[in-house]
Chains A and B, each alone.
Chain A
């Protein structure tokens, strides 16, 4: 009855390079959001995407590394997910706070220091 016998294995033609290129592309998409968008929420989105690119790297190196049974890459990615979730919560709370104060979330408008 178990029809899901697509064991999650590795393709012969796929090397570590392909994963690194994918993660580099994802990282740069995140970087575009951080540098080019005029919106604090999208900056946060970009940071999340960059962290995800780092996670792809952790897992790809774990999978292709010499000692996958040590699980170091997976553990790193697990901690990174947890920390990213906390970062998102605090970052979004900060954005709400900034919005209440400046009535905008365009980061280039946060100029005055006087409260």
Chain B
């Protein structure tokens, strides 16, 4: 977990400022603080109004550019009629529209399409990152009985802008003894795979930026390359804390990759495909018309989801597994010697990695774009996908606010002696579930199959790490 470096403005909150001239207290800034929801509502309404005006202007321009275009078969109508696939229809319609009056070779059209998709993906995830950076601080502040950032913009919502400006104008320091090339390329190598994995997530029906038959494998392969980036950052800085932090981070990533992959293997086994879209499609439908047929609502899927989520926290260096950057021991781990924009790049890569791995969890276990109830199926799939993704992110923030950091030996033993054996048990349980045909028999057989090993491994693990009675050498005589 990255350290919240701009925490200091919060400390000023609530202090009354006495002007030097007189005794009159300055009025506290009450516009955003007293009625935050009114402000937010007004801002939202303004945003919706602006979007409507924008669409109207666009329609007018199109009509003006090509008379008679906005006819019955216009793609804008088609997009409104099929909200689920609206982004794809809009994109294809826009490209066809361009091709209809500019003769563009198909390969250029393909590149243009790719660039638009890349731009949209990066835009969506960077704004999600900006939102999360302030939401995380506010939620953590509420958990710790503080206010959190509330000075910049309404409810502090413009804090990311201030942070971004701060990061950009900071001095970029490279240590004198550093390996300059490796030090420079580490953030780049960190960010690229984090952005690449966004391409295989299925955001909705037909909304997969890159249809890859081995998408899940692609995700894990790209995740593995971030280890090289961490090594580059740690070694290139020529700093003991950086090197130790990088060694810890790599050992942790290798150890937690195993339960991550093995619990995903259980899903791949039952879905019979490595393609994320196919995996989501196998989770369509509802049991008894009420419970969605997601994998998380099966005994093995529930256990697999928990394992996957825990391992994902460790993979993305989130608390309670954030000891590569544990400030009490290692300053900031492999990030110690980074400042300014390079530090911001690591920050972005870490959060985008968290979104991507939450998106994969949604794809594998939480039914991807499907609505949790048939009554809610009218809401487009991509909205469901992002709602689920963001609830996982909020869960991660909640965990960060409540669970203390683990020790390095506990971290390793937890991975090798609990998570990995349990994930193999989950694979076996998935096979048993498949051959018992699911349903009631599956529940009866799978539940003990999962519970007994859980209790065995868990009690052995808890016995070893249970806090023993503390001895105070000097105060107890």
Contact = CB atoms under 8 A, between A and B. Distances in A.
Query: Is there direct touching of A and B in the complex, by C-beta distance under 8 Å?
Result: yes
Interface of A: 1-5
14 contacts: A1-B88, A1-B91, A1-B92, A1-B113, A1-B117, A1-B206, A1-B207, A1-B209, A2-B210, A2-B211, A3-B113, A3-B210, A4-B211, A4-B212
A1 B208 contact: yes
B372 interface: no
A76 to B, nearest CB: 19
Q: For the side of the interface on B, what is the size category?
A: 10 to 19
Contacts of B110: 3, 5
B114 A2 contact: no
Nearest to B203: A1
B218 to A, nearest CB: 11
Interface string B79-108: 000000001100110000000000000000
Contacts of B91: 1
A48 to B, nearest CB: 15
Interface string B95-134: 0000000000000001001100100000000000000000
Contacts of A2: 208, 210-211
A1 B85 CA distance: 10
A11 B208 CA distance: 27
Contacts of B87: 1
3 tightest Cβ-Cβ pairs between the two chains A and B = A3-B114, A1-B88, A4-B210
Contacts of A4: 114, 210-212
B80 to A, nearest CB: 18
Contacts of B208: 1-2
A10 to B, nearest CB: 18
A1 B88 CA distance: 6
A5 B212 CA distance: 10
Interface string B203-223: 000111111100000000000
A5 B107 CA distance: 10
A3 B209 CA distance: 7
Contacts of A1: 87-88, 91-92, 113, 117, 206-209
Contacts of A3: 110, 113-114, 117, 209-210
Interface centre among B88, B92, B211 (most CB of A within 10 A): B211
Given A1-B88, A3-B113, 11 more contacts: A1-B87, A1-B91, A1-B207, A1-B209, A2-B208, A3-B110, A3-B209, A3-B210, A4-B114, A4-B210, A4-B211
